Structure 1
């Protein structure tokens, strides 16, 4: 095993079980930290015609054009005006950088594998298909997102062409 491969394994191991948590309304969600590139404040968004309504447009992040998704709208929740707590979590999904607009970022937490249970098989709302597990943290629960299901293949291809 090369030194580079060892470094990658060590990095993956230190990120295992770590989640960036954020708020949408009253719920707390978690994203595996390995997907997170950075967190920035909300900034000017340029609208792009013909994109799905949950894609608010694009931002220029230090010369890189990044599409931004309002996670509330993706989950079919009501739009809320952005404020000073609103954040953009820049993630990497299948080599596509994407900004996720959330109400606010909470913290990075560790959740042991044994404290993660599968979500109940309830197809009541659209948001449940994006949940890959429920993390039990003390007396709280964190809804863990399957980040790779936030966009389907067609949507990724469409955003790659923006």
Structure 2
């Protein structure tokens, strides 16, 4: 099993190991590319870094399409080069079972593509993006990929093509402008990487530097005598960790657990525990000047552990304060 970030590209269900992803951002206007590399669509200026953008659907042999406001850019590394993969949409973060050694990786009997694997669930897993970019697939391999495309996925991700092109371009240009570095003399804008998740119908974010991993909610063992915000303990990579229920800690309305619930394992190097989430919404870079202090309408329990509110509806948690709060630290021994 491997922890992966699942997404759609050209009607295909795709994934990449979560550890290989730097961030995920919204599609923005691109500048023309200065070469004709396979799948290269243009470049973006991400806070002063010029990053080439590769259309994942095109790389997989699927028909291309103009950028849409719902498209996303997945920032990763191909060898030593930082690149962006243009994808159609985010699905989730999940654990995937890999194909056994020696299994056919694609339909058609013995067809393989360097840098790609096909999971038993039919998900195209990017195992080595540098190798995939360096070795163009055979036509027969691309035909095998097309056979995996699901009509409902293609309709889902391409349903926004009726939008006015001028409106789409204006939105993409505005996003690109926000990614530019600040003008000299205006003061640098501090950026941070965050993981966004949903809990009880609200959107939350937590700084990625405190996130060790995201795992499925497994068996939870209750611990008698612990505070109500500690729902129990569980195993994560052989380590026993406490599980914090933010609904109780932040005094927010409860939402029942489902099989899709996740545990976000956070750590500061000394203290490690998990927080429960309903699902993962995405990840990306945010400007700290967009985070405003919580308002008086928010419950006192929420304000204590909040950095602030992002874009009026995303509650940014103060992971450092949560990890260092002696009232939360539980001795699992």
TM score, norm. by length of structure 1: 0.77
After TM superposition, give the deviation of residue 75 of structure 1 in Å.
Answer: 1.6
Of 130, 148, 153 in structure 1, the residue corresponding to residue 326 of structure 2 is 153
After TM superposition, give the deviation of residue 79 of structure 1 in Å.
Answer: 3.6
Q: Deviations over 1:112-148 (max 9, x none)?
A: 1232222235564421221112222xxx631111123
After TM superposition, give the deviation of residue 160 of structure 1 in Å.
Answer: 2.9
After TM superposition, give the deviation of residue 33 of structure 1 in Å.
Answer: 0.4
**What is the alpha-carbon distance in structure 2 between the residues aligned to residue 21 and residue 123 of structure 1?**
19
- Structure showing greater radius of gyration is 2
Aligned to 1:118: 293
After TM superposition, give the deviation of residue 93 of structure 1 in Å.
Answer: 4.1
**What is the alpha-carbon distance in structure 2 between the residues aligned to residue 56 and residue 123 of structure 1?**
24
The question of whether the paired residues in 1 share the 8 Å contact of 2:251 and 2:299 is answered with: no
**What is the alpha-carbon distance in structure 2 between the residues aligned to residue 17 and residue 48 of structure 1?**
35
Q: How does 1:89-128 map to 2 (within 5 A)?
A: 89-93=264-268, 95-121=270-296, 124-128=299-303
Of 251, 262, 277 in structure 2, the residue corresponding to residue 76 of structure 1 is 251
> What SS does structure 2 have at the residue aligned with 1:34?
helix
Number of residue pairs the alignment of both structures matches: 144
RMSD of aligned C-alpha atoms?
2.3
The question of whether the paired residues in 2 share the 8 Å contact of 1:19 and 1:110 is answered with: yes
Q: How does 1:1-150 map to 2 (within 5 A)?
A: 16-93=191-268, 95-121=270-296, 124-136=299-311, 141-150=313-322
Q: Deviations over 1:89-121 (max 9, x none)?
A: 000146111110111111002111232222235
Q: Compare 82-91 and 71-80 and name the one that shifted more.
A: 71-80
The question of whether the paired residues in 2 share the 8 Å contact of 1:130 and 1:150 is answered with: yes
**What is the alpha-carbon distance in structure 2 between the residues aligned to residue 51 and residue 144 of structure 1?**
26
Q: Deviations over 1:62-105 (max 9, x none)?
A: 32111111111212234433112211000014611111011111
More helix by share: 1
Distance 1:94 1:76, change over 3 A: farther
Distance 1:77 1:154, change over 3 A: closer
Q: Compare 90-99 and 24-33 and name the one that shifted more.
A: 90-99
> What SS does structure 2 have at the residue aligned with 1:106?
strand
More strand by share: 1
Distance 1:78 1:112, change over 3 A: closer
Q: Which has the higher contact order (CA 8 A, sep 6+)?
A: 1
